[in-house]
């Protein structure tokens, strides 16, 4: 019985720490600060579009996707000044094979054409703010 109570206390403590780190990261993004967000990127205009793991570097004058592996090149993302604003949607069931089912997909522009970036829901506001600042690529 005491073991179960101990396990419950440990699980609650771990959840509290994880939630706190998430909250700190979302509030830490202010203009001029640099943070990176884990994400997956898909460029539909490529010959074989695939979801690729990496990180978004937010906080600079540009938003840059940096690949997790060295096989791919970095991609600069921006808001197209003549086009629509970035949109947010949920990941489709077809995307669940490579993207977390709870992720949100942000549709924006890049030098290679349209880009889809899948991020966790609590990181979407920071990504949209950074893309709004990085308009006009």
Same domain for 112 and 87: yes
Tell me the residue range of the domain where 19 lies: 1-30
Q: What is the pLDDT of residues 48-102, one digit of tens each?
A: 889 999 999 887 778 889 998 888 888 888 776 666 788 899 998 888 888 989 9
Same domain for 124 and 102: yes
pLDDT of 25 over the 60 cut: no
Query: How does residue 26 score in pLDDT terms, banded at 50, 70 and 90?
Result: low
Same domain for 89 and 79: yes
More confident residue, 101 or 132: 101
Same domain for 108 and 124: yes
**pLDDT computed for residue 131 by the predictor:** 85
Domains held by the chain: number:
2
Same domain for 110 and 87: yes
Same domain for 37 and 26: no
Same domain for 72 and 111: yes
How many CB atoms neighbour CB 74 within 10 A?
A: 10
pLDDT of 34 over the 80 cut: no
Same domain for 42 and 11: no
User: How far does the chain reach from its first CA to its final CA, in angstroms?
Assistant: 61
CB 58 within 8 A of CB 30: no
CATH number of the domain encompassing residue 107: 2.30.29
**pLDDT computed for residue 54 by the predictor:** 93
């Amino acid at each position: 019985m005491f073991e179960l109570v101990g396990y419950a206390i440990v699980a609650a403590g771990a959840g509290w720490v994880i939630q706190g780190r998430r909250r700190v990261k979302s509030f830490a993004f202010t203009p001029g600060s640099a943070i990176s967000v884990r994400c997956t990127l898909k460029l539909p205009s490529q010959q074989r579009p695939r979801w690729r793991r990496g990180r978004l570097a937010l906080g600079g004058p540009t938003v840059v996707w940096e690949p997790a592996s060295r096989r791919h090149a970095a991609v600069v993302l921006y808001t197209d000044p003549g086009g629509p604003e970035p949109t947010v949607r949920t990941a489709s069931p077809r995307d669940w094979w490579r993207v977390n089912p709870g992720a949100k997909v942000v549709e924006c522009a890049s030098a290679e054409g349209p880009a889809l970036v899948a991020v966790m829901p609590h990181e979407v506001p920071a990504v949209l703010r950074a893309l709004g600042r990085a308009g006009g690529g």
